[in-house]
Amino acid sequence: MNPDRRRLLKLVSGAALAGVTSTAPLRPAFAQQKLRIGLVVKVMGISYFDVTRDGGQQAADELGNVELVYTGPTAATVEQQIAVIDALVAQKIDALVISANDATALIPTGKKAMQRGIKVISFDSAIAPEGRIMHVNAPHDDLIGANDVRMISKTLGGEGEVAILSATSQATNQNLWIEKMKEEWQKEKYAKLKLVGVVYGDDAADKSYREAQGLIKAYPNLRAIISPTAVGIVSACRAVTDAGQLGKIFVTGHGLPSEMKPNVLSGVTDTFQLWSPADLGYAAVMYAGMLARGQTDGAANSTTKIGRLGDMTVEADGSAYLKDLLVFDKSNIEEWATKF
């Protein structure tokens, strides 16, 4: 990590890893096996996923002789996502990397693909374990969810009404983060910080905007909105700004610095967080390619060198986690907005 990044990065380290095995050896005979890897996101047209695609393409280039097929549904529904995956299975894709719209509903789809010899992993939003080999995740869910509460508590001085604007009600990752937020909220130091409601914008900008407007109208004493979705956080900021509530209602959550820069500079957002979406896409595609080439098995407690990210370990829960959680504010938003 370069010195500038160290200064800008507020590093949150994951839990200590135990039971690590040695890195799986490479098999040169498979190194240039032609592969097609499908990167299936929750919904097309979201900048966050476009950045994961860019990281995935870098991994594909480094793996060599890999075609990355970036695709997803036009609406964030599991029915549309299943149709997209089924089409790739019919094309005899070699590996699938999926951000799930519904953890359970995708189990049969993932099983069918694996029965046909396709390596199936999830990333970002997990498929339940029965429907995939492994999952590539952002930093640990408890760290992310707890920090959402810590950030807004600091902004509000530990007091006020707060609502959550999420993605879809079935989204695995958002639901886990909300669960971890609520666990953090039980601590005595948040006694004056009240969670008043949770709404869902379905990762659609217009619906997220309307849901944020609804929160502002429904709760006259609302002081903040936490939105753990890159679509929702921008929509919530716009709703607060349009309502003339700058300085009265604050927004935090997860977003891209390039999209959130105006909101940080205007003051509607004090701090927000994210990891590197490019690193997430890079790790997922690298894992998928190495699985397809027999260079790793993705088993629990296995460690594999994942290109520029170094060694990553699949933990006992079947997930490999990124390590770096980035927190953005006025001190660093200008710099990070040039990166993603």
pLDDT digits (tens, 9 = 90+) for 30-85: 446 799 999 999 999 999 999 999 999 999 999 999 999 999 999 999 999 999 99
CB-neighbour burial class of residue 286 (10 A; exposed 0-12, middle 13-18, buried 19+) = buried
pLDDT digits (tens, 9 = 90+) for 254-287: 999 999 999 999 999 999 999 999 999 999 999 9
Q: Round to whole Å and give the CA distance between 173 and 254.
A: 12
Residues in the chain, how many?
340
Paired strand residues for 71: 40
Residues 6+ apart with CB under 8 A from 36: 66, 67, 69, 91, 93, 94, 95
Tokens representing residue 210 in the block? 């309307």
* Amino acid in the structure at residue 185: W
Mean of per-residue pLDDT scores for the chain: 92
Q: What is the DSSP-derived secondary structure letter of residue 129?
A: G
Residue 115: the pLDDT is: 98
Confirm if 264 and 7 have CB atoms less than 8 A apart. Answer: no
Paired strand residues for 313: 303
Confirm if 136 and 323 have CB atoms less than 8 A apart. Answer: no
Helix axes 47-63, 277-292, angle to 10 degrees: 40
The Cβ-side half-sphere exposure at 179, using a 13 Å CA radius, reads: 10
Residue 154: the pLDDT is: 98
Mapping DSSP to helix (H, G, I), strand (E, B) and coil, where does residue 229 land? coil
Beta pairing, strands 326-328 & 272-274 = antiparallel
Tokens representing residue 83 in the block? 């149709």
Confirm if 137 and 161 have CB atoms less than 8 A apart. Answer: no
The position carrying tokens 């929160």 is 215
Domains identified in the chain and CATH numbers: 3-139+276-327 (3.40.50.2300), 141-272 (3.40.50.2300)
Residue 33: the pLDDT is: 79
Residue 9: the pLDDT is: 39
**Residue 331 backbone dihedrals phi, psi, to 5 degrees:** -75, -20
- Average pLDDT per run of 10 along the chain, which is 340 residues long? 38 32 38 88 97 98 98 97 98 98 98 98 98 98 97 98 97 97 98 98 97 98 98 98 98 98 98 98 98 97 97 97 96 96
Which parts of 91-140 fold into alpha helices (H)? 107-115
Its pTM stands at: 0.88
For residue 309, which of 294, 324, 298, 290 has the smallest C-alpha distance? 324
CA 324 to chain centre: 13
Could you tell me the sign of the dihedral formed by the alpha carbons of 22, 299, 122, 13, in that order? negative
Mapping DSSP to helix (H, G, I), strand (E, B) and coil, where does residue 123 land? strand
- The CA-based angle 228-52-80, given to 5 degrees, is 75
For residue 200, which of 248, 237, 232 has the smallest C-alpha distance? 232
Residue 208: the pLDDT is: 98
Return the number of other C-beta atoms located less than 10 Å from residue 194's C-beta: 15
Confirm if 125 and 101 have CB atoms less than 8 A apart. Answer: yes
Q: Round to whole Å and give the CA distance between 208 and 37.
A: 31
Which parts of the chain fold into alpha helices (H)? 3-8, 47-63, 78-90, 107-115, 141-156, 172-185, 205-218, 230-242, 257-266, 277-292, 333-336
For residue 232, which of 218, 257, 253 has the smallest C-alpha distance? 253
